[in-house]
Amino acid sequence: MAKKFAPQQFLNRELGQLEFNRRVLAQAEDTTIPLLERLKYLCIVSSNLDEFFEIRVAGLIEQLNLAGVPAGPDGMDAQQTLMLVREQAHKLISRQYLILNDSILPALDQEGIRFLRRTSWNDAQRVWVREFFFNQVMPVLTPIGLDPSHPFPRVLNKSLNFAVELQGKDAFGRNSAKAIVQAPRVLPRTIPLPQTISGCAHGFVFLSSILHAHVGELFGGMEVLSCHQFRVTRNSNLFVDDEEVKNLRTSLQGELPQRHFGNAVRLEVTDNCSPQVAEYLLQQFELGPGDLYRVDGPVNLVRLMDIPNQVARDDLKFPAFSPGVPSVLQKKGADIFKVMRKSDVLLHHPFQSFKPVIDFIQQAASDPKVVAIKQTVYRTGVDSALMEALIAATQLGKEVTVVVELLARFDEEANINWASRLEEVGAHVVYGVVGHKTHAKMLMVVRREDGKLRRYVHLGTGNYHPRTAGFYTDFGLFTCNEEICADVNEVFGQLTSLGKARALNHLWQSPFSMHMEVLRSIQNETRLAKSGKRAHIIAKMNALLEAETINALYEASQAGVKIDLIVRGVCALRPGVAKLSENIRVHSVIGRFLEHSRIFYFRNDLKHNVYLASADWMDRNFFRRIEVCFPVLDAKLKKRVINEGLKIYLQDNCQIWDMDGEGHYRHKQPRRSAKKCAQIELLTQLANMPVKASP
């Protein structure tokens, strides 16, 4: 039985998530990164924090309302965690706006990219803004005066709103002192001005500034005493009762509209909002003082994410590149089935193109020899060539089966729409297993060749999403290995039919065998180390949280196993602690691309076992999801994964952060003569990219 470790030997998940966002925020602060990309990083932090409050903080509050919820592995209960989260989140957000106001906006201004504030408008700008307000803004506004017949309105999650204090009587003699103005989501939050009006190459005005300047027009004859923008973040967890649900899609469609009106978990106001207005809003949303976040600027920085797309300044962005294509697939009209019969094919995104995956499905759809296609869909986007190919394949008479995960967070609506379209043309659409999200990335094509049926498979660490494949690092493997194909077929059978789980040839599968196999592999390295042999584990993932796996890694470290962990986000393991984890190093890489691949390497007495997976080492991935972990069997491809996915990152000294035993991170600083950036080197090796490229 595995030794149990004390709570103080685990780090807190929520605090680790805030630490991750500090590392992202450091990118916004880094002056070696192109300016418009720094602005993007600032926006990414806001987007990450939105989801953090909607899901993680909301979950903590739910725990507080339920009696008897046990503490996590770190020993902290929901109340303790929430107190520390609020404290750290306030500091992080204050730092974020300080960087915006003191660094990024002044630097943008110097480049002729300006956000014109009301206090600095000249006469021509005032006239232009006024015309824009009356023509584009005022017609879609519905101001709501608050009185007994007009209660406080339902405020949409993360929407822009204004609390207005008034004085005087209206046309009906009503003496209402407060009103709410909700900014419709159809209105842009940043409005570009003509160059002749702005006086600079790229001038923008915030919608909030336009509304502030003209809010009096909405309340004729009354005096506006104050106007303050605010934004509320709500609980966005969806509740679907696994035991009561009869039709998952119908249940989810009924639940989705309520996401916009869940319980409030955070209130953002500008720093000049009066205490009286802030307190009034807190009361309306049933929040406490700790849930109030005062910000020095717009309450939603996510809306600045589109500014780089509106500004034609390539010199202020990362250099463009063309993803590479493996030489075996470069020939125009290459028969991918013929290529796969000769050897497995490995793709490393985004350095290599995602197009071969699209080509694979499109070829399968039009190939008269293909009789069936099966695919899992977790996230694929609103506009997807892959889904269109599956629809076309169905219309051409192929047997198409699609396992659609309806509970892919924030992609539920897109997935429901794809499921409906697929069903309309006759595809078999199933929703996996209630209570277990289908997170595995699998695609199988069945082809009739020489009177026999042959299977071809694509397995990946990332989603079948062409857009995110352009900035998430992931691996994809094409293979027609009969045993792996049989394993994939077995997993599809579990998802679409009924029956006991059978032993698989090569794949590790959650919730059945993956956790056990990960532990067995760690323990095997421990046994080898104890017998005096060299032992080494390298694992790359997004998060490491599962307690038993962490315990096994601690024991391996104590036995002398060298362990390198590359964990992009949250890591509950404490590295480098004397007599506990002296042989464990934890790193995090934050760069141009989001590190998303999951790679597990076990030296195994020079057998060098390499696995790719859809799963992180988390409780949910091991026990509450359908996941697959697959081996790389081809020796050349195995070497590629080790070199491109692991070694090059461990040698990085530009974008890598080292974690200490307290969960804090130190950014490595390269010597001038020995700068090594993994993502840039991979772009140079695999893509069409200039050698001298900015990180």
CB contact set of 363 (below 8 Å; sequence gap of 6+): 335, 336, 337
Check: CB of residue 267 under 8 Å from CB of residue 164.
Answer: no
Phi and psi, residue 248, nearest 5°: -60, -40
Please state, in angstroms and rounded to a whole number, the distance separating the CA atoms of residues 382 and 396. 23
Written as one string, the DSSP assignment of 441-506 is -EEEEEEEETTEEEEEEEEESS-S-TTGGGTEEEEEEEE--HHHHHHHHHHHHHHHS--PPPPPSS
| Cβ atoms within 10 Å, residue 409 | 14
Does residue 439 have an active-site annotation?
A: yes
Of the listed 348, 436, 439, 465, which one is catalytic? 439
Q: How far is CA 674 from CA 43, 669, 671, 679, 691, in A?
A: 31, 10, 5, 15, 15
Neighbours of 403 (CB within 10 A): 23
Contacts of 526 (CB under 8 A, 6+ apart): 535, 552, 555, 556, 559, 561
Q: What is the CA radius of gyration of the chain?
A: 27
Would you mind telling me the total number of residues written for the chain in this entry? Answer: 695
The CB density around residue 378, as the number of other CB atoms within 10 Å, is: 23
Please say whether the beta carbons of 278 and 231 come within 8 A: no
Q: Distance (Å, rounded) from C-alpha 605 to C-alpha 303? A: 52
Is residue 647 a contact partner of residue 599, using CB atoms and an 8 Å limit? no
Q: Which among 44, 37, 227, 257 has a CA at the least distance from the CA of 118?
A: 227
CA distance 335 to 611: 27
Chain centre to alpha carbon of residue 321:
23
> Rounded to the nearest 5 degrees, what angle is found at the Cα of 218, between the Cα atoms of 214 and 224?
70
The catalytic site residues sit at: 439
